[in-house]
């Protein structure tokens, strides 16, 4: 195999491992935050850990929303006995009242929105329905993130914890 290609594959494997570890850490923080408030835990976008054998359990929160009905079916977990509430909903129009959730976890979702304005609407909506939001997004140094045609934005957090988006 070409040494350059092999090196790139190893590099991306390390990047994916870092992102997976970050996702687990932030998910655990978001889940704990919601538990501490005594309010439900929202997962916005495709759950990354929908399998009962995972260390953190269901990964779907108490409620999981996504615009794709197939994702919602996974979140409901009928075939696994998870039983989270799964709803087909747009992250820009979450059908819950203000501050209903203790926390909202949004992983690798916002970068799929078309533009910065859509991202701002989505972040404002997450802030509206939850006490605190936890966001994870692909890093700029991920080769896969650069190659994904459905990624329209780079999303991050500044030193003060403010969410920002850049058009790709």
What average pLDDT does range 85-98 have in this prediction? 92
Per-residue pLDDT band for 95 (boundaries 50, 70, 90) equals very high
CA 45 to chain centre: 6
Per-residue pLDDT band for 104 (boundaries 50, 70, 90) equals very high
Q: Tell me the average pLDDT of the chain.
A: 83
Distance CA 128, CA 109 (A): 18
Per-residue pLDDT band for 86 (boundaries 50, 70, 90) equals confident
Which carries the bigger pLDDT value, residue 85 or residue 51?
Answer: 85
Which carries the bigger pLDDT value, residue 71 or residue 122?
Answer: 122
Is there a contact between 62 and 76 (Cβ–Cβ < 8 Å)? no
Instruction: Kindly list the structural domains of the chain, giving each domain's residue range(s) and its CATH number in brackets, ordered by start.
Output: 16-167 (3.40.50)
Q: Tell how strand 153-157 and strand 163-167 pair up.
A: antiparallel
Residues present in the chain in total: 168
**pTM of full prediction above 0.85:** no
Number of Cβ atoms within 10 Å of the Cβ of 128:
16
Q: Could you write out the DSSP letters of every residue in 64-84?
A: EEES-HHHHHHHHTTTTT---
Q: How many CA atoms lie within 13 A of 154 on its CB side?
A: 13
| Residues 10-63 pLDDT 10s | 877 877 777 778 888 888 899 999 999 999 999 998 765 544 334 444 567 888
% of the chain with per-residue pLDDT over 70: 84
């Amino acid at each position: 195999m070409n040494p350059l290609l092999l090196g790139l594959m190893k590099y991306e494997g390390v990047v994916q491992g870092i992102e997976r570890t970050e996702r687990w850490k932030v998910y655990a923080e978001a889940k704990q935050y919601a538990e501490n408030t005594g309010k439900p835990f929202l997962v916005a976008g495709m759950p990354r850990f929908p399998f009962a054998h995972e260390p953190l359990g269901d990964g779907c929160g108490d409620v999981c929303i996504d615009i794709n009905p197939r994702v919602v079916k996974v979140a409901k977990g009928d075939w696994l006995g998870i039983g989270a509430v799964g709803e087909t909903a747009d992250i820009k129009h979450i059908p819950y009242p203000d501050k209903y959730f203790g926390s909202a976890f949004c992983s690798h979702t916002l970068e799929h929105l078309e533009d910065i304005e859509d991202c701002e609407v989505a972040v404002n909506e997450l802030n509206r329905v939850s006490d605190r939001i936890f966001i994870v997004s692909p890093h700029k140094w991920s080769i896969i993130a650069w190659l994904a045609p459905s990624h329209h934005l780079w999303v991050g957090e500044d030193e003060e914890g403010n969410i920002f988006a850049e058009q790709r």
